[in-house]
């Protein structure tokens, strides 16, 4: 790979890091061509982009992207593949699915999810159970609406009683 090709790859990785906001760095070393092709096919089916790159180029792309990736630099050793996805949990779910079919790889080295860093393969279950921003906002709105709904339903169900109490208070005044 010549200098210009490396520069183009760094630019492409930087753009993907900015565009997706979520990426996983994995170890896919020592896998057969058939297994790598299977992983690529599954990634394509799950709308996940997979890219194999040298660690030094990945680091340069992270530096150019402008986020705080310093915690990830230590895991950039050996063979690395990057999985990009709009969904924070899709790559983790895919990895879990691949493991159920008998493959021990890819192994998660690190994951960067909306500025949060997860280090190590032991984070797989945590990554699978992450909720998206939309899910969290929906839950918060539901929680905020709940007390208002309770007050409205209490007023509707006890409307006659409430009217009687208001009338009694007015008569006293």
Query: In Å, what is the CA distance from 37 to each residue of 52, 57, 67, 108, 156?
Result: 13, 23, 31, 18, 62
Residues 100, 83: one domain? Answer: yes
Residues 74, 37: one domain? Answer: yes
**pLDDT tier for residue 154 given thresholds of 50, 70 and 90:** low
Quote the mean pLDDT of the chain.
85
Residue scoring higher pLDDT (159 or 9): 9
**pLDDT tens digits for range 65-115:** 887 888 999 999 988 999 999 988 999 999 999 888 877 888 999 999 888
Q: Percentage of the chain with pLDDT > 90?
A: 40
Contacts (Cβ under 8 Å, ≥6 apart) of 145: none
Residues 34, 118: one domain? Answer: yes
- Give the model's pLDDT for residue 95: 92
- Give the model's pLDDT for residue 44: 93
- Total number of domains constituting the chain: 2
- Give the model's pLDDT for residue 133: 73
Total-model pTM: 0.75
Q: Residue 156 above 70 pLDDT?
A: no
Instruction: For residue 107, give the CATH number of its domain.
Output: 3.30.70.1730
Residues 161, 102: one domain? Answer: no
- Give the model's pLDDT for residue 109: 94
Whether residue 22 contacts residue 127, with contact meaning beta carbons closer than 8 Å, is answered with no
CA distance linking residue 77 with residue 73, whole number of Å: 9
Q: Where are the alpha helices (DSSP H) in the chain?
A: 3-20, 33-45, 55-65, 90-100, 124-128, 133-157, 159-172
**pLDDT tens digits for range 16-42:** 999 998 899 999 888 888 888 989 999
Residues 81, 150: one domain? Answer: no
Residues 122, 164: one domain? Answer: no
Considering 115, 130, 145, which residue would you say is the last residue of a domain? 130
- Give the model's pLDDT for residue 30: 87
Residue scoring higher pLDDT (103 or 160): 103
Chain-centroid distance of CA 165 in Å reads: 53
- Give the model's pLDDT for residue 152: 65
Structural domain including 161 reads 134-172
């Amino acid at each position: 790979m010549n200098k210009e090709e490396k520069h183009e790859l760094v630019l492409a990785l930087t753009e993907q890091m900015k565009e997706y906001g979520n990426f996983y760095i994995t170890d896919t070393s020592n896998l057969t061509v058939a297994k790598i092709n299977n992983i690529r096919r599954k990634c394509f089916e799950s709308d996940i982009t997979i890219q194999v790159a040298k660690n030094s180029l990945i680091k340069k792309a992270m530096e150019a992207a402008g986020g705080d990736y310093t915690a990830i630099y230590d895991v950039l050793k050996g063979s690395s593949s990057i999985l990009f996805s709009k969904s924070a949990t899709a790559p983790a779910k895919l990895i879990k699915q691949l493991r159920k079919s008998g493959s021990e790889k890819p192994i998660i080295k690190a994951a960067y999810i909306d500025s949060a860093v997860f280090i190590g393969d032991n984070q797989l279950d945590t990554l699978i159970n992450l909720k998206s921003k939309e899910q969290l906002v929906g839950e918060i709105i539901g929680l905020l609406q709940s007390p208002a709904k309770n007050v409205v339903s209490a007023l509707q169900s006890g409307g006659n009683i409430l009217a009687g109490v208001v009338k009694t208070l007015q008569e006293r005044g």
